[in-house]
Amino acid sequence: MVQVPELFTQYISSFSGCMGGNPNAPIWLVVDHSARCPLPIDPEKVFANPVTNIDALKRALPTTCPCTESVTRLINSITGNPEAETSLVFKPEGQEDKQPILLLSASPLCTGMITTNAWMEKLAVTTPDGEVTMAKYTGLPSYRDFLNFLIAQRGQVFQAAVAEKSPKIILCSNILRANDYFKLFGADRKNVEANDFFLVAPVMKNDKEVRTLVFVTDMLGFGTGDMTPENELELQQAGNEFRHYAHDAFGDGWLGQFSGELLTLKK
């Protein structure tokens, strides 16, 4: 029986590592991992004080990320706003509730820890016995073991948040991890549909009613240097597809106050 440190378990079973935004937004975005961090880490500092309340993620989002432009274009395509208008997606302090998105991290661990080899080989954690690997510190021998633990622990927290907030769509990055994302959010994996841009499965409110659509896509990660006209067109097309699927599931008005001027003009 693996004995995972309680401090680490509490950290994983939380919203730690998430960028935040508007917890009541209709659109949630999920990336694989948290930001980079210097290694090795001190677990007594890094894993302490986990974020247990999703409302604590309410904050203004910075626009310094290399993916800001691609996220802006994708979200504005979904909401029906001019695609390049960053100010319609990222709001300053005091206007957090006007942001149409919440940014989450599937894993709170930083990038230096979360490859298969790094998990078993990189000296990532400082302990009284010296620097050790994540495999040694956690007692989870492989990265796959960690992912299963993550899905079981953090999945409970994320699924409870979905039940509380009922976001309309969740867009997850990295289509190769689709099955893990569907498990993480409790989506119906027997009811998966495929599209040119994504895989999608519903989180059900009851036997007949969809609460949330979980999409897994590779359309969230264009950096500033990759913003070619072709990629801009793909973001627009993908945004339209996300919106159409949501409209079919939830009907008119699913965006609420975030319905953009281009959608309003079409009515």
- C-alpha 118: how far from its chain's center? 22
- What confidence category does residue 267 fall into, taking pLDDT thresholds of 50, 70 and 90? very low
- Higher-confidence position of 227 and 238: 238
Judge contact between 101 and 28, C-beta under 8 A. Answer: yes
Show the CA angle centred on residue 106, arms to residues 39 and 218, nearest 5°: 105
Percent share of the chain, pLDDT over 70: 96
Enumerate domains of the chain plus CATH numbers: 6-251 (3.40.470)
d(CA 125, CA 137): 7
Q: What is the pLDDT of residues 79-100, one digit of tens each?
A: 999 999 999 999 999 999 999 9
Residues 17-27: tens digit of each pLDDT: 999 999 999 99
Per-residue pLDDT band at 39 (split at 50, 70, 90): confident
Task: Based on DSSP, count helices (H) and strands (E) in the chain, helices before strands.
Answer: 9, 9
Burial of 38 (0-12, 13-18, 19+ CB in 10 A): exposed
* Dihedral angle computed from the Cα positions of residues 81, 102, 33 and 185, in that order, rounded to the nearest 10 degrees: -110
135 phi and psi angles, rounded to 5 deg? -60, -45
